[in-house]
């Protein structure tokens, strides 16, 4: 596995990874209606390109296949952070997070924070993030529970 910086040509594969992971992994903690609202079938590629390119986005790749990605914003916010449905619990997320932490330190950021799904919460806890609070967010009319989590670095 290797980590590299996001390229525009990665966008469609990243969108598919996002969709598949939510629909096949997060479905264990959320309803079908919730995952459909969170990751709809008709996502806008231009919005994804703009979002991915506006952050420090790193891609994990193995044999030419994208197996995970994570986005860091300049304020320490970890936005989208997903591992391929077939590569869960194999250390991919840990490697991506290490890269995001390294970049954050280089930028002088002292605190990372994220909104972790029910599914992702145990991973972030295992990486020394603490829950600040549980919250309910709305996506396309569906309410979903997630957790504001943070870590000092």
Kindly report, residue by residue over 16-36, the tens digit of the pLDDT.
999 999 999 999 999 999 999
Partners of 82 in the beta sheet? 69
Strand ranges (DSSP E) for the chain?
2-5, 56-62, 65-72, 77-83, 111-117, 130-139, 142-152
pLDDT given at position 42: 94
pLDDT score recorded for residue 63: 95
28, exposed or middle or buried, with CB in 10 Å at 0-12, 13-18, 19+? exposed
Per-block mean pLDDT, blocks of 10 residues, the chain (153 long)? 97 98 97 97 96 98 97 97 95 97 97 98 98 96 97 97
Indicate the burial class of 125 (C-beta count within 10 angstroms; 0-12, 13-18, 19 or more).
middle
Q: Does an H or E element contain 147, and which?
A: strand 142-152
Residue 134's pLDDT is: 97
The pLDDT of residue 128:
98
Quick one: pLDDT at residue 23? 97
Nearest to 57 by CA among 48, 46, 49, 69: 69
Backbone angles phi, psi at 110, to 5 degrees: -110, -10
Give pTM, 2 decimals.
0.95
Domains detected in the chain: 2-152 (3.40.630.30)
pLDDT of 72 reads 98
């Amino acid at each position: 596995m290797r980590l590299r910086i996001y390229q525009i040509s990665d966008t469609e594969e990243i969108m598919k990874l996002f969709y598949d992971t939510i629909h096949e992994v997060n479905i264990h903690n959320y309803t079908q209606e919730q995952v459909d609202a969170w990751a709809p079938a008709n996502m806008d590629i231009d919005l994804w390109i703009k979002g991915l390119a506006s952050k420090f986005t790193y891609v994990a790749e193995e044999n030419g296949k994208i197996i995970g990605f994570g986005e860091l914003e300049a304020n320490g916010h970890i936005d989208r952070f997903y591992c391929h449905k077939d590569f869960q619990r194999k250390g991919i997320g840990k490697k991506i997070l290490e890269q995001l932490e390294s970049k954050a330190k280089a930028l002088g950021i002292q605190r990372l924070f994220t909104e972790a799904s029910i599914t992702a919460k145990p991973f972030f806890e295992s990486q020394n993030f603490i829950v600040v609070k549980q919250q309910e967010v709305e996506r396309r009319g569906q309410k979903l529970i997630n957790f504001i989590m943070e870590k000092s670095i």
